[in-house]
Structure 1
Amino acid sequence: MWTTLITLAIGAFGAVAAFWLGIPAPFLTGPAFLVTLCGISGIRVAIPARLRDVIFLIIGTNMGTAVTPEAVATAGKWPLSLIILSLCILAIFLIGARLLQMWFGMDRMSALLTATPGHLSFVIGLTDDLKADISRVTLISSLRVLTLTLLVPFIAPLLTGEPLPRLAPATQPMALPALAAILILATALGLLFQRLRVPAALLLGGMAVSSLAHAFSITEGSVPQWLSLPAFATMGALIGTRFGGVSFRMLAQAMGASATLSSFAAIVSLAGAYAVSQLFGIPIVTVLIAFAPGGLETMMAMSVLLDANPAYVAAHHVFRLVFLTLVLPIVVSRNR
């Protein structure tokens, strides 16, 4: 209990500090950075699973409020965008693994699992039956997610030439009865998704119910900021808790490999995002968040904070997870 309260307090301080410093997406990046720093300094940090699920539900519901007919109208352009994303995934996965082998002496299996662009929980599940360095795979992969979370908000303004908003433009909040009804239905759908082993089940459940309600004008408005902003700050803190108990020495050993992999992934993702943006006229910020191989929940949350198109971002990140779920076991089996 006290560990959770301390973690939330650290995250809240990080969010406020980042906001006043003018850092983009402060309610995500601020807590992620500060909780990470505290975790590797020896302070116990943790977010319980039930609180995590509630936060995912709220953030998913908030994403669905941005699904408008205009946003859905871009769906006709998505198939080619998904093909380009597939090529980027394969490049990061296969070439990235080769770089880890040549430059950091990793064995083939550990390199493949580490270079997998996302789907960390699935990767960890595979290691039970494989000869791989699970601690090294997990640490490097977690560092990559943190790096992308902190870098994307700073890279995006360089591409657009304009500063990003610290907060998405404020909209009329949903009526509380409508919000309560959506959260109840979203919880039921999210629990169903969990039984079906769908990734980020409650987040996607919240987004699905909220999207339908807004797309068909059953309700309108966003999740009130008094609920959404603490949810984003807790999400940032959750990212930082992955580094609890990690020593500076362990971190230093993994940073070189993580920096190399993150840089290569960023270059490939930027190239793919730029191509899609130029071909289809989709804002570069939206495509970059959709192509960045970070955590599904993290990048979907960032799409809201940076006023991108959550439907487009969600479609691409869910596709990435499905694609990896199908491809990774095949590649792994051929390299056992």
Structure 2
Amino acid sequence: MSVARGFRQNLSKESATALTVGAAGAAVFAALGLPVPFLTGSAVAVTVAAIMGLSLSLPAGLANSCILFIGIGIGSSVTPDFLQYAMTWPLSFVVLAGTLVIGVFSCRYALVRLFGFDLVSATLAAVPGHLSFVLGLAVDLPADMRRVALVQCMRVLFLTLLVPSLLSIWGMEVKAAPAPTDAMEMFDLLVLALVALALATFLVRVGAPAAWLFGGMLVSGIGHFAGVTPGTPPGWITAAALLVMGTLIGTRFHGYSPNELRRDIGAGIFVTVLACALASSGATVVAIALGLPAELLLISFAPGGVEAMSAMALQLGLEPTFVASHHVFRLLVLTILVPLFIVKLARN
């Protein structure tokens, strides 16, 4: 369905209620200082409402538009800056890529064998990071979005809450990351959005999966890598897009039983611990081989949370740009690998 046609749908009472509940959840999570509040807070609040039996929905046009802007935001991280670190520390990046591949296959195997996931859902749930990208894919793929979202949100919450807590126990204070100041010019954003809309419409017509997400990502990634459209989308646009995405996720949980909820929370904790163990192993190997601080590599290899991990590096007196470059590289690798995994599954 096109964006224009989707917006012609009336914003029903169900949609208005869903967005109101989502906004309330986001506000609570933001007030508590919890991670990615506009996404996780809205998702949790709407999920609870849906499980309690409240009928909620969102217009397709609104959802697609926000997914397009999320894609633009993801693409804005593709800058040539990280290439300097990739050329300076190639072993670190190679080992990171290896741990990502091993992690996806190991976590997918565990989700299928131990928790009864189907292969597509397990593949998406096993991805160590890139939350908005994975959930954007799950919207258009034959995956159980509820299970994927729950496992991925557990990973984000577990990582971002546990690591600072451990550092606090060790006497190290970790503060929130500063808000980005390099906001994109509105004219540049408008041009990107229009070109991305045209590309996404074309991808929809040719039957490409996750067309709205990839349309935004490809156009924005090319523009940022070439240095034509520097900066990130304004914070309020990103927050609104994540709020709608979280609300959309929550609406999918209608009819989800408490037993299913407990099962998938357990799956989320299990694969997060497994992914952290694999990342720690890779980080230890690189730290020994290159003589770099172990804590620097551990934060750089953490499966998710680029903003939180960069802030931790800054507060610990480590190199935040080194950490951020590894996380950007991780996102780029996953952007390439995950669609390849899905295509292979489709062929089989």
Normalising TM by the smaller chain, what interval?
0.7 to 0.9
Say if 1:318 and 1:202 are closer, same or farther in 2 by CA, change over 3 A.
same
Deviations 1:107-150 (A, max 9, x none): xxx66666445378599749xxxxxxxxxx66544532343343
Distance 1:162 1:196 in 2: 51
- 1:144 pairs with 2:151: yes
- In structure 2, the partner of 1:40 is 51
Unaligned runs of 5+ in 1: 101-105, 127-136, 291-301
Counterpart code for 1:184:
L
- In structure 1, the partner of 2:160 is 153
- In structure 2, the partner of 1:296 is none
Say if 1:138 and 1:236 are closer, same or farther in 2 by CA, change over 3 A.
closer
* 8 Å CA contact 2:96, 2:330 repeated in 1: no
* 8 Å CA contact 1:186, 1:205 repeated in 2: yes
Distance 2:40 2:281 in 1: 27
Distance 2:141 2:216 in 1: 26
- 2:272 maps to which of 260, 266, 271: 266
Say if 1:148 and 1:215 are closer, same or farther in 2 by CA, change over 3 A.
same
Distance 1:122 1:202 in 2: 10
Q: What is the Cα deviation at residue 185 of structure 1? A: 1.1
Say if 1:194 and 1:276 are closer, same or farther in 2 by CA, change over 3 A.
farther
Say if 1:189 and 1:23 are closer, same or farther in 2 by CA, change over 3 A.
same
Q: What is the Cα deviation at residue 318 of structure 1? A: 2.6
Say if 1:122 and 1:273 are closer, same or farther in 2 by CA, change over 3 A.
same
Deviations 1:186-241 (A, max 9, x none): 12223344455554332232222223223322232321223221112222222212
Distance 2:139 2:236 in 1: 34
- In structure 1, the partner of 2:316 is none
- In structure 2, the partner of 1:130 is none
Q: Secondary structure at the match of 1:269?
A: helix
* 8 Å CA contact 1:68, 1:215 repeated in 2: yes
Q: What is the Cα deviation at residue 55 of structure 1? A: 0.8
Q: TM-score, normalised by structure 2?
A: 0.71
- In structure 1, the partner of 2:25 is 14
How many pairs align? 297
Counterpart code for 1:44:
S
- In structure 2, the partner of 1:240 is 250
- 1:221 pairs with 2:235: no
Say if 1:196 and 1:91 are closer, same or farther in 2 by CA, change over 3 A.
farther
* 8 Å CA contact 2:75, 2:220 repeated in 1: yes
Counterpart code for 1:28:
L
- 1:67 pairs with 2:86: no
- 1:176 pairs with 2:176: no
Mean CA deviation greater in 198-207 or 114-123: 114-123
Distance 1:182 1:243 in 2: 33
- In structure 1, the partner of 2:39 is 28
- 1:204 maps to which of 214, 219, 225: 214
| RMSD of aligned residue pairs (Cα, Å) | 3.5
Q: Secondary structure at the match of 2:231?
A: coil
Distance 2:202 2:17 in 1: 32
Counterpart code for 1:288:
A
Q: Secondary structure at the match of 2:216?
A: helix
* 8 Å CA contact 1:61, 1:207 repeated in 2: yes
* 8 Å CA contact 1:97, 1:111 repeated in 2: yes
Say if 1:234 and 1:163 are closer, same or farther in 2 by CA, change over 3 A.
farther
Say if 1:139 and 1:15 are closer, same or farther in 2 by CA, change over 3 A.
closer
Q: What is the Cα deviation at residue 74 of structure 1? A: 4.5
Q: TM-score, normalised by structure 1?
A: 0.73
5 Å-filtered alignment, 1:100-179, equals: 100=115, 115-118=122-125, 121=138, 125=142, 140-158=147-165, 163=174, 165=176, 169-179=179-189
Over the matched positions of the two proteins, sequence identity in percent amounts to: 26
Q: Secondary structure at the match of 2:302?
A: helix
Unaligned runs of 5+ in 2: 1-11, 126-133, 311-323
- 1:99 maps to which of 105, 114, 130: 114
- 1:316 pairs with 2:333: yes
Mean CA deviation greater in 309-318 or 7-16: 309-318
Higher relative contact order (CA 8 A, sep 6+): 1
Distance 2:68 2:160 in 1: 23
